[in-house]
């Protein structure tokens, strides 16, 4: 494998993967990205031009997708509409990108017999009760609760059907919540970090009891690369780093790491349809492929992320005022 096509490689998780591949392999990477509001050229700026190329295009456009797939050895498919709240306001972009776009990728890799890894989310499984000791596994039934998670569930099922029906050489991964560099400041952790930098009190949805299983984006990237290189065709792998924290704990830890009182935050109206708890059991990935996260505890990964936002204000500053204005309209 010499040439890798990464869809959505200018977005948050995709760009972290591109950086990881450049730093840990000799692969040439082509990024196919529509450059929606959640992506930016700056996320992959500075990488060697001889090894990283950006093509601006839509994954639902077969004329753009087919020649790129034909020219590469493998495809890692990150591209997706992923903001839950936006999917409640208008589901249509989620259906087009996450389902039709994934279908377009699948047909191209089928025509040209290329290796595919499809990146998905743990939200396809719905949520768990706060006092439930169980975690999601590869055998957990799907139970999506939003247009976003339903569209991702649909794309997962398409991949598995194309493996079984047409022999497409594909794998699937479902990952817990990512945090780290290059994440849009509309998202929970970077929004709170940048608020503290600006002297604004962080905002906590509801009581803050909702639990997420956090993983640093670089650890997600190393897991995806391991699956691409060594994963068994047709298999699904869950990616997690044992980072279960409720939102209240996360806000207080951000404040403490940034030298503020742990109670220096405001409660705001909870999100509609806010899932209670996600939790990943990643034993299959660790045992089969020998993967381990670099950030063994959430606090060290969060401290690394805070430093990044402190040192890269030029990246997020142009979007801050508009982002906060949108939240203010919703009382959040």
pLDDT tens by residue, 8-19:
999 999 999 999
Active-site pick, 33, 123, 218, 324? 123
Q: What is the pTM of this model?
A: 0.95
- pLDDT beyond 70 at 236: yes
For the segment(s) 3-178+215-239, the CATH number from 3.30.70.20, 3.30.1450.10, 3.40.50.720, 3.30.980.10 is: 3.40.50.720
| Non-local CB neighbours of 328 within 8 Å, separated by 6+ positions | none
How far apart are the C-alpha atoms of 238 and 137, rounded to whole Å?
A: 7
Which of the following is catalytic: 58, 103, 127, 148?
A: 148
**Percentage of residues in the chain having pLDDT higher than 90:** 87
Backbone angles phi, psi at 236, to 5 degrees: -110, 135
pLDDT tens digits, 271-319: 766 678 999 999 999 999 999 999 989 999 999 999 999 999 999 999 9
Please report the pLDDT score of residue 85 as a whole number: 74
Q: Where are the domains of the chain?
A: 3-178+215-239
Cα atoms in the 13 Å half-sphere on the side-chain side of 24? 15
Tokens of 225: 């690369």
Q: Is 85 a catalytic residue?
A: no
- 179 is a catalytic site residue: no
Q: What is the spatial distance between Cα 165 and Cα 232, in angstroms, rounded to a whole number? A: 17
- Which position among 33, 81, 122, 186 bears the catalytic label? 122
φ, ψ for residue 118 (rounded to 5)? -105, 125
Q: What is the pLDDT of residues 53-109, one digit of tens each?
A: 999 999 999 999 999 999 999 999 999 997 777 888 899 999 999 999 999 999 999
Q: Percent of the chain at pLDDT above 70?
A: 99
Backbone dihedral region for residue 257 (phi beyond 0: left; psi -120 to 50: alpha; all else: beta):
alpha
Can you tell me the mean pLDDT for 156-180?
97
């Amino acid at each position: 494998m010499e040439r890798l096509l990464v869809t959505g490689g200018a977005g948050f998780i995709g760009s972290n993967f591109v950086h990881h591949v450049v730093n840990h392999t000799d692969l040439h990477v082509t990024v196919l990205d529509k450059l929606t509001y959640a992506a930016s050229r700056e996320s992959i700026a500075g990488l060697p031009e001889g090894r990283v190329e950006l093509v601006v295009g839509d994954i639902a456009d077969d004329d753009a997708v087919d020649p790129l797939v034909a020219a590469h050895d493998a495809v890692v498919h990150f591209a997706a509409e992923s903001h839950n709240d936006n999917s409640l306001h208008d589901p249509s972009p989620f259906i087009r990108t996450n389902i039709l776009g994934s279908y377009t990728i699948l047909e191209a890799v089928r025509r040209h017999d290329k290796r595919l890894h499809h990146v998905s989310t743990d939200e396809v499984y719905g949520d768990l009760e706060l006092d439930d000791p169980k975690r999601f596994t590869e055998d957990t039934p799907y139970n999506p609760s939003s247009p976003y998670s339903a569209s991702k569930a649909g794309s997962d099922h398409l991949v598995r059907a194309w493996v079984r029906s047409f022999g497409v050489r594909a794998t699937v991964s479902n990952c817990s919540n990512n945090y780290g560099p290059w994440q849009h400041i509309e998202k929970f952790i970077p929004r709170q970090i940048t608020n503290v930098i600006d002297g604004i009190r962080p905002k906590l949805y509801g009581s803050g009891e909702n639990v997420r299983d956090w993983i640093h984006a670089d650890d997600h990237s190393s897991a995806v690369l391991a699956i691409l290189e060594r994963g068994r065709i047709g298999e699904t792998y869950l990616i997690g780093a044992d980072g279960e924290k409720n939102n209240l704990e996360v806000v207080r830890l951000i404040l403490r790491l940034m030298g503020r009182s742990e109670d220096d935050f405001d409660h705001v109206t909870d999100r509609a349809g806010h899932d209670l708890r996600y939790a990943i059991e990643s034993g299959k990935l660790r045992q089969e492929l020998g993967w381990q996260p670099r950030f063994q505890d959430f606090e060290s990964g969060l401290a690394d992320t805070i430093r990044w936002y402190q040192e890269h204000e030029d990246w997020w500053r142009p979007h801050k005022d508009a982002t906060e204005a949108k939240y203010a309209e919703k009382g959040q």
